Amino acid sequence: MSAFYQQRDRDTAVLFYDDFTDAQILTRKDFANDESYLSIIDNNSSDAWALAGQFNYDITSQLELTAALRYDHDTRESFDPTNKTDTYAKKSFSQLQPKVTLGYQVTDDFLLYTGYSHGFRSGGFNEPAEGISRTFNQEVSDSYEMGFKTSLFDNKVTLNGAAFIIDQDDAQFTQFNVDSFTLENLSIDEVQTKGLELEAAYAATSNLSINLSAGIIDSEIKSFELRPDLAGKPQFWVPEYNYSISANHNTQLNGQWSLFSRTELLIEGPKTFSIDIPDVESSRYTYLNAGIGVKSEQWTVQVYVENLTDERAIEDIFLYGDGITELARQPNKPRSYGVELSYDF
């Protein structure tokens, strides 16, 4: 059995000012708070708790049944403190979530499994701004999975694979609304996602391990009342595929310190971003990350670089302009590097 409780408060204030005098350059201190031509203020809170339990039952010496049950409850509030009477909103979201898994141990090194789970993501409130929906619904999903886990060649190689189907109701999707300058959460009525996953790990030596993973995803909007024309289109932000390969090396320097290094190559397939431009998709992107450092039982010092090749990618894309169709693109983070120091107490 387990229990969970979380209380969160998020207060945001976005004020827009404009200088129409054109006589001199003004800064924010030159304006009074009531001179902003647009303000978006939101006090948003969440009071969430959950209870969960799980049990395992050996049907035979090789066949095991695992069952779990979780209940979530989340009460959310939102209002603009400058106009609480007209903007106050409060609503509770809850869901019972069962999960069942059946595992068959064919041999000591080969496991087959299948399972079903019912998932939940709390609904909530968008910021109180004109032109967007105030409330977005909770998301529920039914997930079906089957796969295998293996260990080969005296545990030098592990190979895992899975196939899955996820049916989502009120699938949550976040987009930038250029009219209100807010992040707007929407609920897509029905989405189905199917995919295959494969993972492999190879212990090349006692110091070097190599890991590979691959995923192929087919995600489709089945129903969307707000935009019926999008039925049959892929779900936004979901890449068609992703691949990765990484290598980790570790060498003992003395009785206390060891030298470690890592290299990681990530490949991400095309994806779409916006309900306004569902046919515009990104390219395939390749990212290279690396790091090297030393560590002891308590200390870790690492020099790292992310996006070593400075791959330029699209993080978001949307329509922008007053009656003129223009594509605004938000780029990814360029090459970055630094030193990381950590200490375990």
Quick one: which of 19, 20, 21, 17 has its CA closest to 36?
A: 17
The whole-number pLDDT of residue 37 equals 59
35: helix, coil or strand? helix
122, exposed or middle or buried, with CB in 10 Å at 0-12, 13-18, 19+?
Answer: buried
E strand or H helix that includes residue 86: helix 84-87
Per-residue pLDDT of 291-317, as tens digits, reads: 999 999 999 999 999 999 999 998 888
Helix (H) or strand (E) holding 85: helix 84-87
Query: Is 217 exposed, middle or buried, given 0-12, 13-18 or 19+ CB atoms closer than 10 A?
Result: buried
pLDDT of residue 280: 86
Mean pLDDT in residue range 272-291: 91
How confident is the model over 151-170, as pLDDT tens digits? 999 999 999 999 999 999 99
CATH architecture assignment, domain 1-5+42-238: Beta Barrel (2.40)
Q: Is 60 exceeded by the pLDDT of residue 323?
A: no
pTM comes to 0.87
What are the residue boundaries of the structural domains of the chain, listed by start?
1-5+42-238
